[in-house]
């Protein structure tokens, strides 16, 4: 019986790690957002894919949230001396990932490169980009239309977000691996990881056919709320929800996903909100994933919740 997880960067990677710890390797597919991807210094960067890959390989930098543990920064320091662009920091070892991916993309798909990197790093679960097409999130803000990493890293999410756009998405296709996981006859649950609903999950939902496939699901679809006590665990989710006029809470997250959700796991802190959340079944638990034990525990609770929903 297989599980499909939809993930962005850090929050997605943490739950994916927990799921990977409790599901047999061939039975977990992690479909990862590629809306954050961009070309920088002539290199193709896929931040969320790398965060998920490094995390499942046990190589991720836990404190920073992105990049590799024990990284060195000689390249970026040397680039700075030469007057190069250093607002997006590429570590020395991480650089190898971007250089090798960029080379291989001349003749291979992102799916193929991602699968091979994962295998070489000892990962036995499937990590699939949601599309092999150039999905690129653009952020309409009070400072104009910004490419995602300009908004997120260069301007540190300071501009006010009015709208997200995904130019050309109507002509794009979900990757073969993502489509196959959605259609898998052995699928038992679809889990939306506690990633930013707008920046990480909306690009995935915007791909043609994905919303329809999720709406026509035969298995429970659950999400873990990334909002705890009115705050995002990490990143700008709360700020963006406020700017878009949404309720900054797990109830707002439930409202955003609407009829897609069969179940929502919310944090103990938000227990009092449960009666206010119309629609999905609610599971209350400790959703903070501080270490490997927490990640495994949250994953276990999510799958047990899916099981309860299936039986009801
Ligand atoms: N995030 C930052 O805040 N600053 C950086 O300099 C930075 C560099 C970076 C390099 C490679 C990579 O894979 C990710 C990197 N990130 C950086 C993280 C990343 O861009 C964002 O956290 C995600 O796109 C949001 O999920």
Instruction: Report the alpha-carbon distance of residue 294 to residue 285 in Å, rounded.
Output: 11
Ligand 1 site, residue 267, Cβ cutoff 6 A: no
- Annotated domain spans of the chain: 2-155+163-311
Q: Which atom of ligand 1 is nearest to the CA of 91?
A: 10
CATH code of the domain made up of 2-155+163-311: 3.40.50.10680
Measured in Å, residue 98 CA sits from the centre of ligand 1 at 13
User: What CA–CA distances, in Å, run from 310 to 26, 222, 281?
Assistant: 22, 11, 11
Residue 238: partners with Cβ closer than 8 Å, 6 or more residues away: 227, 230, 231, 232, 248
Tens digit of each residue's pLDDT (9 = 90 or more) over 52-65: 999 999 999 998 88
Ligand 1 site, residue 47, Cβ cutoff 6 A: yes
Measured in Å, residue 6 CA sits from the centre of ligand 1 at 19
pLDDT for the residue numbered 238: 87
Ligand 1 site, residue 37, Cβ cutoff 6 A: no
Measured in Å, residue 202 CA sits from the centre of ligand 1 at 19
Ligand 1 site, residue 11, Cβ cutoff 6 A: no
Residue 167: partners with Cβ closer than 8 Å, 6 or more residues away: 136, 138
Q: Which atom of ligand 1 is nearest to the CA of 51?
A: 13
β-pair type (28-32, 2-7): parallel
Q: Which atom of ligand 1 is nearest to the CA of 149?
A: 20
Q: Which atom of ligand 1 is nearest to the CA of 89?
A: 6
Q: Which atom of ligand 1 is nearest to the CA of 196?
A: 26
> From the CB of residue 83, how many other CB atoms can be counted at a distance below 10 Å?
7
Share of the chain above pLDDT 70, in %: 100
Q: Quick one: which of 268, 305, 287, 277 has its CA closest to 225?
A: 287
Measured in Å, residue 247 CA sits from the centre of ligand 1 at 27
> Ligand 1 pocket: which of 6, 46, 51, 66 to mutate (most atoms <8 Å of CB)?
66
Instruction: Report the alpha-carbon distance of residue 186 to residue 24 in Å, rounded.
Output: 13
pLDDT for the residue numbered 312: 83
**Is residue 311 pLDDT above 90, yes or no?**
no
pLDDT for the residue numbered 114: 98
Q: Quick one: which of 208, 197, 215, 151 has its CA closest to 174?
A: 208
Ligand 1 site, residue 90, Cβ cutoff 6 A: yes
Measured in Å, residue 238 CA sits from the centre of ligand 1 at 19
**Is residue 236 pLDDT above 90, yes or no?**
no
Tens digit of each residue's pLDDT (9 = 90 or more) over 181-204: 999 999 999 999 999 999 999 999
β-pair type (227-228, 2-7): unpaired
Tens digit of each residue's pLDDT (9 = 90 or more) over 256-281: 999 999 999 999 999 999 999 989 99
**Is residue 100 pLDDT above 90, yes or no?**
yes
Measured in Å, residue 86 CA sits from the centre of ligand 1 at 12
User: What CA–CA distances, in Å, run from 124 to 17, 24, 127?
Assistant: 12, 9, 9
Residue nearest atom 21 in ligand 1 by C-alpha distance:
47
């Amino acid at each position: 019986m297989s599980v499909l997880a939809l993930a962005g960067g850090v929050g997605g990677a943490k739950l994916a790690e927990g799921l990977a710890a409790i599901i047999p390797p061939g039975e977990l597919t992690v479909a990862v957002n590629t809306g954050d991807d961009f070309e920088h210094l002539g290199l193709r960067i896929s931040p969320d894919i790398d965060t998920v890959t490094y995390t499942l390989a046990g190589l991720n930098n836990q404190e920073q949230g992105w990049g590799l543990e024990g990284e060195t920064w000689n390249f970026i320091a040397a680039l700075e001396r030469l007057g190069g662009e250093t607002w997006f920091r590429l570590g020395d070892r991480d650089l190898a990932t971007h250089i090798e991916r960029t080379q291989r993309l001349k003749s291979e798909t992102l799916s193929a490169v991602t699968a091979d990197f994962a295998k070489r790093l000892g990962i036995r679960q499937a990590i699939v980009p949601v599309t092999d097409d150039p999905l690129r999130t653009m952020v309409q803000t009070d400072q104009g239309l910004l490419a995602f990493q300009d908004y997120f890293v260069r301007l540190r999410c300071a501009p006010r977000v009015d709208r997200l756009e995904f130019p050309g998405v109507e002509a794009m296709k979900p990757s073969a691996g993502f489509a196959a996981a959605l259609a898998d006859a052995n699928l038992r649950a679809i889990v939306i990881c506690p990633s930013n609903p707008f920046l990480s999950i909306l690009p995935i939902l915007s791909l043609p056919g994905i919303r329809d496939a999720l709406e026509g699901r035969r298995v429970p679809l659950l999400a873990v709320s990334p909002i705890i006590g009115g705050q995002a665990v990490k990143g700008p989710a709360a700020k963006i929800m406020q700017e878009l006029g949404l309720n900054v809470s797990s109830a707002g997250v439930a409202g955003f996903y609407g009829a897609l959700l069969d179940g929502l796991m919310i944090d103990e802190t938000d227990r009092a909100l449960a009666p206010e959340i119309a629609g999905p079944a609610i599971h209350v638990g400790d959703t903070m994933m501080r270490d490997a034990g927490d990640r495994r525990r949250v994953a276990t609770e999510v799958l047990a919740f899916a099981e309860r929903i299936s039986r009801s």
